[in-house]
């Protein structure tokens, strides 16, 4: 009997320690978070790989939320990057998305093999350009017209940005 009791205590201790290790430490003053699903479209089509920042309108701005949309344009935002959901309140949203054209350069050389790849890239005069595809006003917190409200319970928020723009933001081609 004693052997069984010790085994149960040991098993319970292990289970509790594993549960404690996998749970994030939630700040004591973090308000209740509500499940929120944002469906982002661009001119009516799913907008994949867009970064959204969810900015509180007035009130407590310590609890920032956001994330990156999946292939279907869906984002289930996290607060402080690790806690699923968003506190109740009214929010503005900024959207940022870039796409590249061409072949991206290899990382800076750190050894003989990577130096060879880098030198080949330079010798071939390859180029890579990065373009912003979201209109400026949707990227700036003081100009974005995107707003929504999170209420207690589940929230599903459809947002749409206009047709893609194509503004070069960076040229990393080497010559």
- Find the CATH number of the domain harbouring 70: 2.60.40.10
Segment 125-143, tens digit of pLDDT: 888 889 999 999 999 999 9
The answer to whether the CB of 76 falls within 8 A of the CB of 84 is yes
**CA–CA gap between residue 96 and residue 138 (Å, rounded):** 8
Where in the sequence is the domain holding 97, given as residue range(s)?
2-171
Residue 123 tokens, joined: 């010798």
**What is the Rg, in whole angstroms, of the alpha carbon atoms belonging to the chain?**
23
Tell whether the torsion through CA atoms of 132, 134, 140 and 141 is positive or negative: negative
**CA–CA gap between residue 160 and residue 43 (Å, rounded):** 7
Sheet with 98-102, edge to edge strand ranges: 98-102, 128-132, 167-171
Closest CA to 82 of 49, 33, 47, 38: 33
Please tell me the number of Cα atoms within 13 Å of 121 on its side-chain side. 19
Q: Is the pLDDT of residue 144 over 70?
A: yes
Q: Domains in the chain: how many in total? A: 1
Strands 65-68 and 78-79: antiparallel
Segment 81-112, tens digit of pLDDT: 999 999 999 999 999 999 999 988 888 888 88
- Please tell me the pTM assigned to this model: 0.74
DSSP 30-51: PPPEE-EEEEEEETTEE-TT-E
Distance of alpha carbon 49 from its chain centroid, rounded?
8
Closest CA to 37 of 166, 126, 175, 150: 150
**CA–CA gap between residue 174 and residue 121 (Å, rounded):** 8
pLDDT band at 8 (very low <50, low <70, confident <90, very high): very low
* Percent of the chain at pLDDT exceeding 70: 82
Residue 89 tokens, joined: 């309140």
> 161 by DSSP, 3-state: which?
strand
pLDDT band at 19 (very low <50, low <70, confident <90, very high): very low
């Amino acid at each position: 009997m004693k052997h069984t009791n010790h085994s149960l205590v040991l098993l319970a201790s292990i289970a509790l320690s594993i549960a404690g290790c996998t749970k994030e430490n939630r700040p004591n003053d973090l308000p209740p978070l509500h499940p929120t699903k944002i469906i982002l479209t661009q001119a009516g089509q799913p907008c994949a790989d867009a970064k959204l920042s969810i900015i509180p309108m007035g009130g407590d701005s310590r609890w920032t939320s956001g994330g990156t949309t999946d292939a279907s344009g869906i984002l289930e935002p996290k607060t402080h990057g690790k806690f699923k959901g968003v506190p109740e309140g009214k929010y503005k949203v900024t959207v940022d998305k870039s796409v590249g054209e061409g072949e991206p350069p290899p990382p800076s050389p750190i050894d003989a093999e990577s130096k060879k790849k880098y030198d080949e890239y330079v010798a071939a005069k390859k180029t890579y350009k990065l373009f912003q595809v979201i209109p400026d006003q949707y990227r700036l917190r003081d100009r974005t017209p995107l707003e929504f409200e999170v209420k207690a319970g589940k929230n599903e928020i459809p947002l749409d940005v206009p047709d893609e723009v194509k503004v070069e933001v960076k040229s990393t081609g080497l010559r």
